[in-house]
């Protein structure tokens, strides 16, 4: 059961990280476009 829980945590962390990266990229692109 613990192994399954760890797997879920890793998956959630990966998804959250990708989402953060996407937002960061969008913000950077937006700033570049404004300049």
**Spatial distance between the Cα atoms of 17 and 12, rounded to a whole number of angstroms:** 9
The per-residue pLDDT for 12 is 66
Query: In the block, which residue shows the tokens 């570049």?
Result: 32
Whether pLDDT at 14 is above 60? yes
Nearest to residue 11, comparing CAs of 19, 24, 21? Answer: 19
Counting every residue, how long is the chain?
35
Higher pLDDT, 4 or 26: 26
> Would you kindly state where each structural domain of the chain is located, as residue ranges?
1-35
pTM above 0.75, yes or no: no
In 8-35, which positions are buried (b, 16+ CB within 10 angstroms) versus exposed (e)? eeeeeeeeeeeeeeeeeeeeeeeeeeee
- Token output for 7: 């797997």
């Amino acid at each position: 059961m613990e192994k399954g829980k760890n797997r879920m945590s890793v998956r959630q962390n990966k998804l959250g990280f990708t989402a953060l990266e996407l937002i960061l990229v969008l913000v950077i692109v937006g700033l570049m476009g404004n300049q």
